[in-house]
Amino acid sequence: MKIAVFPGSFDPITLGHYDIIKRGVGLFDKIIVAIGVNAEKKYMFPLEERRKFIEEAFANEPKVEVVTYQGLTIDLCKKVGAQFILRGLRNPADFEFEKAIAHTNRELSQIETVFLLTAARTSYISSSIVRDVLRNGGDYTILVPDSVRVK
């Protein structure tokens, strides 16, 4: 069984994340969307709300599971039996950053990183842009799955 972990903070999940997961479903038997917890980081959305956004977005997709974790992604991969880490790339800066992490992960384990280029229609979207739009009262709904609704 080919299992991939798609790690991130997903604060919140964006249409870019959604697209990578949907496309990953065709490549892997199971995708574990792993919400990383970093005590040093301030989040806009609580962990359980971020989890709910993702679970609702993929409620009809049995190949997608959502978990939370702390620590190294490769340790989570070993724990859940994943052979792959799935990552999306929006631009050259993402590639340079992700390449260093992928090399480190491969050095520390036998886990391969698989990169998917984001779709052109979502390549400009990031969680930080969504948060900025939200803070300033803009229409964030065009940037996120329908499951992300702020009261």
pLDDT single digits (tens) 81-118: 999 999 999 988 889 999 999 999 999 999 999 999 99
Order across the sheet with 84-89: list the strands: 64-69, 30-36, 3-8, 84-89, 112-117
Q: How many domains does the chain have?
A: 1
Q: Which residues are catalytic, by number?
A: 17, 41, 90, 127
Instruction: Kindly state the average pLDDT of the residues 122-148.
Output: 96
Instruction: Kindly state the average pLDDT of the residues 34-59.
Output: 94
Q: For residue 41, what are the domain limits?
A: 3-148
User: Position of tokens 């993702």?
Assistant: 54
Q: Which two tokens stand for residue 119?
A: 């779709």
Instruction: Kindly state the average pLDDT of the residues 38-55.
Output: 93
- pLDDT class for 1, splitting at 50, 70, 90? very high
Does the annotation flag 113 for ligand binding? no
Does the annotation flag 98 for ligand binding? yes
Amino acid 67: pLDDT = 98
Cα dihedral: 116, 98, 6, 51 (round 10): -120
Burial grade of 46 (CB within 10 A; 0-12, 13-18, 19 or more) = exposed
Amino acid 41: pLDDT = 86
pTM score of the predicted model: 0.94
**Ramachandran class of 70: left when φ > 0, alpha when ψ lies in -120 to 50, beta otherwise:** beta
Does the annotation flag 128 for ligand binding? yes
